[in-house]
Structure 1
Amino acid sequence: MDGLAYGESARWHDGRLWLANWGTGEVLAIGGDGEREVVVTVPPETIPFSIDWTPDGTLLVIADATLLRQSGDELVPYADLSGLADLFNEIVVDSRGNVFVNGGWYDFGKPGVVVVVTPDGKARPVADGIRFGNGMAITADDSTLIVAESHACRLAAFDIASDGSLANRRVWADLPDGHPDGICLDAEGAVWYADVPAQRCVRVREGGEVLETVDLDRGAFSCMLGGRDGTTLYMLSAQWRGFEHMLSPDRTGLVSTVEVSVPHAGRP
């Protein structure tokens, strides 16, 4: 598929690829035949925004500093995160219903945070010092949260407690040549990450060993394993010309796919 603005937050859900189309405010669901559905919208100038689902299948959308949930054809407030950070970027939900969101400040050089919203709708910070948090993933057993720190060129990991608290922070993988954006996990415990400056998606194992690389012709913002067998790697890419062009009418965003050997695991 082409004609997207900036595809972000790729998710595989109910047999379709879902994504946040930054610059248009659309949450899109794309079928195997390429047919697209605009499921819900936020204001087009809302950048960033990201999506995931609660265990009961309710769509959640983070937009600016508000966590929203779908109710019918509308989005209604679920949790107010204002005061915890200026804006929030990525979202992932564990099987207990804990919603993890990373955020930061209009001063991009200031370290960011990870916030958890528990099933009762209460929000609290659970990690700080995050250097431009991007994609996040949770292992299939709900034990570990992995966070892409783009400005630190690394993936960080935390142990997850049942109440959403995080502990035992560690470097999961140093990526000297990488700037991880969106990420996903596979059944061998490796991470695929998208890289905007390097224009590629990369599969790494814990410790940082590079296992596979898929080169693209524009910046890679997000990737997700899905498809019938969980072995289709969906890659969202676009020409990156800086934040000042995020609301440009240019539509260079693509969805590309490649078949891989190891299927999806974990969340999202």
Structure 2
Amino acid sequence: MLHPGAAGVNRPWHMAWDGGAQLGEAPCWLDGALFWSDIERGELWRLAAAGVAADRLYHDRPVGGFTRQADGALLLFRDRGNVVHWPLPGQPGEARTLVEALPGEQASRFNDVLADPAGRVFCGTLSSPDKAGALYRLDPDGQIAAVLEGLGTPNGMGLTPTHDALYVTDTRARTIWRHDYDVDRGEVGARTAFYVSDTPPARPDGLCVDVEGCVWTALYEGGAVLRLSPAGEVLERITLPARYTTSLCFGAPGRGELFVTSAGGPARAQAGPHAGAVFRLEVNVEGGPVYDSRILLQNTGKNARNSS
């Protein structure tokens, strides 16, 4: 249900890119441009300005999520638990492997990722026939360990403005969980259900948090974006012409804009007239900070630790 007074909602949307992604995901505003991936096609895209053609920067193994390092390169979180330090075109250096693979993840891939203020990266892996989904933490020293196991489809994540709680979406469970979080130690604690979708098949997918502490989530198979209060109440529902809305991020500071990715581009007859597009919404609120990862390259290729 919408919270009393919530808009129900015909907020105007604008087309940022209508390239028909098969599985558009992981949008992130970095260095004055919008980046996102098309996971199924193994592509990474960048859109520098409205009205300018997007650039395909990468075409290789599937990228579920990525972060920016202090040197401006990206960390690409790919299939089989693989993590690569990847300089953008024009940057010096070559791609370097941080994690070759993770035990038990040969049939899986990373999905959404999130860097915290200390430069750690939380990265979820999808469930496979042999293993349930898990949430891993990649520490600045290059060590990686599972911190949550037994998940269905780990997806969008975000931190509260005070960094004392971590939101973790499990799309298969149709639930956004709110975990206690110790930012000094990187410890993920007890959880409570923050939001559960009661309108199947719509279920929460990507997630971001605004400066007011409200949570924004894209509804996969719901063709919509929700804004949730810090108490988990639906404040706003924005519908879009794409059934498979997947993820979202805020744009440049001061603009009050939100970008939303979607999937299903090759099947628009079933998935909506602009399936696979990237949409831009004017939302009149700013996004919370996006943190860089700070993973040391000299400690690349280490084995995973035991789960903690």
Do residues 23 (structure 1) and 40 (structure 2) align? Answer: yes
Once the two structures are TM-superposed, the CA of residue 81 in structure 1 deviates from its matched residue by 4.5
The SS at the match of 1:265 is coil
Distance 1:40 1:241 in 2: 20
2:91 paired with 1:78: no
Contact 2:127 2:151 in 1 (8 A): no
Change (3 A) 1:56 1:155: farther
Letter in 1 for 2:38: N
Task: Tell me: CA distance 1:70–1:51, structure 2 relative to 1, closer, same or farther (3 Å).
Answer: same
Superposition pairs for residues 10-159 of structure 1, below 5 Å? Answer: 10-33=27-50, 34-43=52-61, 46=62, 49-55=64-70, 57-64=72-79, 65-71=81-87, 72=92, 74-83=94-103, 85=105, 86-107=108-129, 111-159=132-180
Alpha-carbon deviations, 1:190-232, whole Å to 9, x = none?
Answer: 1111112111111112333111111112210111111352511
Decide which structure has the larger Cα Rg and report it: 2
State how 1:188-203 maps to structure 2 within 5 Å: 188-203=212-227
Provide closer, same or farther for how the CA distance between residues 23 and 74 of structure 1 changes in structure 2, counting only shifts above 3 A: farther
Q: Which has the higher contact order (CA 8 A, sep 6+)?
A: 2
Equivalent position SS for 1:152: coil
Answer whether contact 1:175 1:208 (CA < 8 A) is retained.
Answer: no
**As a proportion of its length, which structure holds more strand?**
1
Moved more, 171-180 or 219-228: 171-180
* Runs of 5+ consecutive residues of structure 2 not aligned to the other structure: 1-16, 268-273, 292-308
- Could you say what secondary structure the match of 1:4 adopts? coil
Gaps of 5+ in 1: 243-250
Identical counterparts, % of pairs: 26
1:2 match: 18
Conservation of the 8 A alpha-carbon contact between 1:133 and 1:149: yes
1:103 deviation in Å? 1.0
Letter of the 2:190 partner, please give it: N
Aligned-pair CA distance for 1:155: 0.8
Point out the more displaced range, 178-187 or 165-174.
165-174
* RMSD over equivalenced CA pairs, Å: 2.4
State the Cα deviation string for residues 131-163 of structure 1 (Å, max 9, x = none): 311111223443322111111111112233333
1:40 deviation in Å?
3.2
User: For the residues of structure 2 that align with 1:4 and 1:202, how far apart are their CA atoms?
Assistant: 23
The structural deviation recorded for 1:117 is 0.7
* Alpha-carbon distance in 1 for matches of 2:289, 2:175: 20
| Aligned equivalent of 1:254 | 277
4+ residue segments displaced more than 6 Å: none
Count of equivalent residues: 256
Deviation of residue 54 (structure 1)? 3.3
- 1:227 aligns with one of 252, 274, 281: 252
